[in-house]
Structure 1
Amino acid sequence: MQNKNRFDRAGDEDGEGARPSPPKRSRDLLAPRVARTILVMALISYSVVILLNILDTPMPTRHTAVAIASLVVVLALQLRHSEPGANRAPLRRRLLTLGVQAALTYLPLLIFRAEWGAMAGFLAGSLLLLLPPRVGWSLYAVVGVSLVVPSLIEHRSVLVTVYLCQSTLLTGLVTYGLSRLSELVGEVHAARGELAHMAVTEERLRFARDLHDLLGFGLSTITLKAELVHRLIPGHPQRAMDEIQDVLRVARDSLADVRRVARGFQDMSLEQEISSARSVLSAADIELDVKVELRPFGARSDAVLAAVLREAMTNLLRHSKAGHCTIDAEHLGETVRLTVANDGVDSGYRDPSPDSGSGLANLGIRVRAIGGRVDAGCVKGTKGTTFRLVAEVPAHSEVVQPPFLGEKLILRPGSASRITASD
């Protein structure tokens, strides 16, 4: 039974168990490893430059040992701060490690003076990595300006002071940028598997939709005509033979439809589906009025409207006791509208079957994919309840020849071999 705007889900849930992930190949992890290696080498290189400056400065051996130990601790902290997801650690832990890094950045300045000032660049980068943007960027600027103090104490020139501040800020930016880049490379690489799974899922849903929409009408037609043949054999054997030929044709078409699924409906046409509808409804003794007034329009829109008409005929045969059906197709500006209506509808009927179908949902997905819309529902009138399916799709630039241009076709029961046209 066709129900107003009752669209079932486009696909059933996957009943399969959890699928094991394929083993990761070493080359699949190359990009994250390269990004991480570049980050670690850059941090080590900055640390080595600071170490060389300290070793070049005359000082007691114990001071040198303290400087090396502090440098190793700061480097370890920075590597931890630059790990992916470090900014999602508990706030207390982040503040603790930042506090230790800040202490090891500023306290050694009392001994090593400006030679230790380059370590502030690591602290600036860690602030950007671990704290919210507004707080992080504010403290980043404070760290850069703080290097003015040791320069003033040592009576350094303005150029040297500017150099220390600028190099600190630059080191912070490089540290932050390489750390974020390494994390993003890892995230993007990890997302490839999810994207591939989503693509496979989408293709499975498309295949299921296409198989449902293509075969539903054909199988319903075969069932209907087989029942008709069964009734005709005793009294009208010749007509039964004709219907058998038609059943064979529909069966061959259904087989071709299975192959057509891979092409995604691209070779379906509204003309073919109207012709099939005439044959099927005639066999079911359902009166059909067809009115098609179309200009040339796009092949993709034509295929989608063909799918809409096929699903409408499937629903008519399965869920109604129709005696009359109308098919109207027309241009409305840059839009093509297809309207299918039939009587014989019980507005209170609900199909209790769990396999009642998802054809209307499939149509909604298919029509919206090309920028159109579809609406379905029951309309009460003086002659009873009518089910109406309306689909509107954009007319694309790719041109096809529309069927029955400018003609109005009237089909009456028992007149399958003779179609009349009128203005």
Structure 2
Amino acid sequence: MMDSHDRSGSADESRGGRPGAVAPPGPVHHLPAPRIARTVLVTALLGQALLTTTGILTAGASPAAEATGLVLLPALLALQLLHSAPSGNRVPLRRRCLTLALQALLTYLPLVIFHVLWETMAGCLAASLLLLLPRRAAWPLYAAVGLSVLVPALLQGLPLLQSVHLTDTTLLTGLVLYGLARLSGLITHLHTTRGELARQAVTGERLRFARDLHDLLGFSLSAITLKSELVHQLIATQPARAIKEIDEVLAIAGQSLTDVRKAASGYRALSLQQEIKAAQSILHAAGLQVRTEGELGALAPHLDTALATTLREAVTNLLRHSNAAHCRISVARHDGVVRLLVENDGVDPAYHNPAPHSGNGLGNLRTRMTAIGGRLESGVGNDGTFRLVAEAPVRKPPETSAEPRDIMVPRNGSAA
């Protein structure tokens, strides 16, 4: 019977995930933070437009002038929103210059009618210049827009301090709108990046699970197949030994199920010493002469698991792809480096599995060893002996790469 935990795990897997997995975030425009940042920016622009509208309606201008101002104002707001979009500075420079020129016309031409009442809109132009142009051109033009509002104020006869106040207001408005637009863009970019990282994490988890299944089930299924064939041969002549082999098959199958569950939950620790004992049992059952050398003692979990996985894959390849009669397994520790050597005879140098999914065990092992700062070498010597050597430092380096490095092939052989 499947217990409730297994059933819930199966339900999660049927939906494309696993228990405890976090799904990648949805589209950015559906998230609250970018939406709030955009709302703050639009609210600030509407507040700016409201101040200008109030000034126009209370200035005592003619109805035609008021209508002109109320028509031009939405056009200016639309241009400002266009320039404030996160992708605004990625459009071609020529198009940006055209829209900036249009905004400049809508900013300065109404000054002829409304004078200083329209100067508040110069802050929007200043913000657009900072958003769309390269820094070398943007900041001088930003300062020029601030200084340009002095001219209408002084021509209208306003005091110098009041004119300076208008300049200061224009520059501050430009900075505020620029900051709000940048904030909105940064939040959008942050959430987009977060989504990409989540998708990469999901992809990495799938690759990890695929590697673990390959490493776990490849060895276990080979061992079960081998021992089942042995049982078939022994059951008529040596039933007692056949029963013992069946018990070992059941034990291997039970351990495989446990390992697969651990792999699915993201935790799988293996012991090199236990794998050496398991390899001896499997290889003896296959009729090979096995010699083991060395004793390492306790190892760090990451190193123990990596070397145990390497030995398991080496034994799996030996059983699948060779007619070996002898195998040697050697472990040693020297100058802070642990070394695992697996040698066997009976290798066909011309062997090649044409199946499209024949496995990528050695590639997985190189990835694992590189991830802990180690290396993996394999090849067939002149004497026809296949050698696999895995080395790794006892202490895991603080920064390691998950990508495999170029591995040097032994001088007396070629890579497997």
Same fold (TM over 0.5): yes
Matched residue count: 377
Post-superposition CA distance 1:38-72 (Å, at most 9, x none): 11110011122233344454544444443333323
Rate the CA distance shift 1:322–1:77 in 2: closer, same or farther, 3 A.
same
- Aligned match of 2:389: 389
Post-superposition CA distance 1:123-157 (Å, at most 9, x none): 11112223344433343233233334334545655
Q: In the alignment, is the contact (CA less than 8 A) between 2:69 and 2:110 conserved in 1?
A: yes
Q: In the alignment, is the contact (CA less than 8 A) between 1:127 and 1:140 conserved in 2?
A: yes
CA distance in 2, matches of 1:56, 1:26: 42
Q: In the alignment, is the contact (CA less than 8 A) between 1:347 and 1:378 conserved in 2?
A: no
- Aligned match of 1:185: 187
Rate the CA distance shift 1:173–1:348 in 2: closer, same or farther, 3 A.
farther
- Aligned match of 1:380: 381
Q: Secondary structure of the equivalent of 2:102?
A: helix
Rate the CA distance shift 1:215–1:86 in 2: closer, same or farther, 3 A.
same
Rate the CA distance shift 1:23–1:167 in 2: closer, same or farther, 3 A.
closer
CA distance in 2, matches of 1:149, 1:394: 75
Amino acid across the alignment from 2:287? D
Please tell me the root mean square deviation across aligned C-alpha atoms, in Å.
3.3
- Aligned match of 2:83: 81
After TM superposition, the structure 1 = structure 2 runs for residues 205-354 of structure 1, keeping only pairs within 5 Å, are 205-233=207-235, 235-294=237-296, 296-354=298-356
Q: Secondary structure of the equivalent of 1:251?
A: helix
CA distance in 2, matches of 1:26, 1:284: 58
Post-superposition CA distance 1:254-311 (Å, at most 9, x none): 2322223234453321121111011111122323332334354312221222112111
Amino acid across the alignment from 1:374? R
Deviation of residue 217 (structure 1)?
0.6
Post-superposition CA distance 1:139-190 (Å, at most 9, x none): 3233233334334545655544443333222222222222232233334445
- Aligned match of 1:167: 169
Q: Secondary structure of the equivalent of 1:321?
A: coil
- Aligned match of 2:358: 356
CA distance in 2, matches of 1:81, 1:284: 74
Q: Secondary structure of the equivalent of 1:384?
A: coil
Q: In the alignment, is the contact (CA less than 8 A) between 2:369 and 2:390 conserved in 1?
A: no
Pick the aligned partner of 2:117 from 115, 118, 136.
Answer: 115
Determine what percentage of the aligned residue pairs are the same residue. 51
CA distance in 1, matches of 2:136, 2:339: 53
Q: In the alignment, is the contact (CA less than 8 A) between 1:345 and 1:387 conserved in 2?
A: no
Is 1:126 the equivalent of 2:128? yes
Q: Secondary structure of the equivalent of 1:328?
A: strand
Question: Comparing both chains, which one has the higher relative contact order based on Cα–Cα distances under 8 Å and sequence gaps of 6 or more?
Answer: 1
Deviation of residue 78 (structure 1)?
1.1
TM-score (structure 1 length as normaliser) = 0.77
Structure 1 residues not aligned, in runs of 5+:
1-20, 398-423
- Aligned match of 1:409: none
Pick the aligned partner of 1:37 from 36, 39, 42.
Answer: 39
Post-superposition CA distance 1:8-62 (Å, at most 9, x none): xxxxxxxxxxxxx999799954333322211111001112223334445454444
Pick the aligned partner of 1:146 from 136, 148, 153.
Answer: 148
Q: Secondary structure of the equivalent of 1:390?
A: strand
Q: In the alignment, is the contact (CA less than 8 A) between 1:329 and 1:338 conserved in 2?
A: yes
Q: Secondary structure of the equivalent of 2:347?
A: coil
TM-score (structure 2 length as normaliser) = 0.78
Amino acid across the alignment from 1:72? P
Structure 2 residues not aligned, in runs of 5+:
1-22, 398-416
Post-superposition CA distance 1:204-250 (Å, at most 9, x none): 32222211111111111112222233344455444434333322322
